[in-house]
A and B are shown apart, each in its own frame.
Chain A
Amino acid sequence: MSTTTIPAGTKWWNGGKSPFNASYGKVMMWYFLMSDAFTFGAFLISYGTIRFSVNDWADPNKVFNSFPFAGHANLPLAFVSLMTFILIFSSVTMVLAVHEGHKMNRKGVEKYMILTIIGGAAFLGCQAWEWTHLLTGEHVTLLNDGTMSVLPTTASSNPWGLPLAHEAMVAALQKTPHEQLVNIASTIHHGGTEVAHNTSAMSNPELINMISNSEIHATNLGRPAFGSYFFGITGFHGFHVLSGVVINIIMYIKTKLGHFDQRGHYEMIEKAGLYWHFVDLVWVFVFLCFYLV
């Protein structure tokens, strides 16, 4: 059998032609995003399974009903809609940056990259506000030991169970220790500081009377999985947004330094853009699963 001579240094996998007419980097970015889609998909499906398996999952319209500077106004869906529109708009500015890149217009790329970075930062700011609001919020809840207490929404504590009947709350208040009663009473008077000041000096029956006569919406304990899934999944998404903003800042600096003009193409902007659009894409599903349905 005769052997054909093979030139030294042949690249076996380099046929001299990309089968997909796309660069290696871009194809691999797509495959990375596909695997990331499975990661997010697995998280969201796991959340859905647990949510389907219980009768008393938290009502998102009750949990996410606040808006910055709107006090206690009941505004379900409003703030997340704003976050959704911010992310859609920053996706548009990103695709416009890619478009300017095709035209080799450095100034245009710089302008739209700045707008995209601002959009990403605005989204992160909104998410920071929302998390702070949930983590510091105080809700009067019936604990497993039969006493009443104020609870925030965290990865392990969930005050968003089924509503508690007034009589059940009054009965539970009789068993509640003094400090917890003081904490509950101080949540009633958010405006009047002088009333809140006096609560620690009041006796237990006075406090119970005051709490029972207030317009308080007490609840049972909710499933701890609610907070774990919410903070876990929005946190994982928020970390993607953060890394996307960092990548975009690096791309902006490289554009500003003229690296892509030297290279002769703006394909790096396209690859960063793919990642950024993916972050928007995931948010569309997070918005669906956590807030809309």
Chain B
Amino acid sequence: MSQHTISPEITHAPEHSEGTGRIWKIFWVLSFLTIVELALGYFLYFKGENLSTTVVLITKVVIGILTLLKAYYIVSVFMHLGDEVRNMIMTITVPLVLFVWFIIAFLWDGNSWKNMRNTNAGSRPSIEKVQTVPVKEGDRK
């Protein structure tokens, strides 16, 4: 099989395998991961009320990790990013590290907001409790 050069700037095209075996293998991996996610989802649905919040949280984190694994397979194999030059992979994946801060900071904020809703931690003293400092004669101009 000949590689078709797209433009003279591209000196080397990645070798594409002849068979479709890898594509179908990833299809089955993605389907399997989705089924595991669904099983965990149903586990939470049927047993969620009897479980401690820690177990529920761990299950949700596991579902999240499985989703990230699915995303990795889609990007790496279906979108062929894994076959690109390493520098190109880096220019795309390194900025996405921003999401680590983005997710932690904002969910933390949402949770703190809930804590303030449920306690009076966020309330301000009412107007009667605020001490008024009498104005001294010298300050008045």
Q: Please name 10 further chain A to chain B contacts, defined as beta carbons within 8 Å, in addition to the given A48-B110, A53-B117, A81-B38, sorted by A numbering.
A: A30-B88, A41-B102, A48-B107, A77-B42, A88-B34, A99-B20, A270-B80, A281-B75, A288-B63, A292-B63
Q: Are A103 and B63 also in contact (CB < 8 A) when A34-B92, A85-B31, A88-B27 are?
A: no
Q: Verify A280–B63 contact, CB threshold 8 A.
A: no
When C-beta atoms are compared, the residue in chain A nearest to B109 turns out to be A49
Q: Verify B85–A22 contact, CB threshold 8 A.
A: yes
Q: Which residues of A contact B (CB under 8 A)?
A: 14, 16-23, 27, 30-31, 34, 37-38, 41-42, 45-46, 48-55, 61, 76-77, 81, 84-85, 88-89, 91-92, 94-96, 98-99, 102-104, 264-265, 267, 270, 273-274, 277-278, 280-281, 284-285, 287-288, 291-293
B34 in complex: contacting residue of A85, A98, A102, CB < 8 Å: A85
Q: Verify A284–B70 contact, CB threshold 8 A.
A: yes
For B44, list chain A residues within 8 Å (CB): 293
Chain A interface mostly helix, strand, loop or mixed?
helix
Complex Cα distance, B5 from A283, in Å, reads 33
A79: min CB distance to chain B, Å: 12
B114 in complex: contacting residue of A53, A277, A292, CB < 8 Å: A53
Q: Verify A20–B38 contact, CB threshold 8 A.
A: no
Q: Are A293 and B60 also in contact (CB < 8 A) when A77-B41, A265-B4 are?
A: yes
Q: Are A281 and B42 also in contact (CB < 8 A) when A14-B9, A21-B11, A88-B30 are?
A: no
For B14, list chain A residues within 8 Å (CB): 21
Q: Verify A285–B110 contact, CB threshold 8 A.
A: no
**Can you offer 20 A-B residue contacts whose CB atoms are under 8 A?**
A19-B85, A21-B88, A27-B88, A41-B99, A45-B107, A49-B109, A52-B111, A77-B41, A88-B31, A92-B27, A102-B1, A265-B4, A270-B80, A273-B79, A277-B75, A281-B75, A291-B41, A292-B38, A293-B41, A293-B44
For B106, list chain A residues within 8 Å (CB): 45-46, 48-49
A54: min CB distance to chain B, Å: 7
A252: min CB distance to chain B, Å: 19
For A285, list chain B residues within 8 Å (CB): 67, 71
A232: min CB distance to chain B, Å: 17
Complex Cα distance, B6 from A104, in Å, reads 13
Q: Verify B79–A293 contact, CB threshold 8 A.
A: no
When C-beta atoms are compared, the residue in chain B nearest to A94 turns out to be B78
Q: Are A51 and B84 also in contact (CB < 8 A) when A96-B20, A103-B1, A293-B64 are?
A: no
For A51, list chain B residues within 8 Å (CB): 110
Complex Cα distance, B16 from A99, in Å, reads 8
Q: Which of A17, A38, A102, A293 has the most CB of B within 10 A?
A: A293
Q: Verify A23–B6 contact, CB threshold 8 A.
A: yes
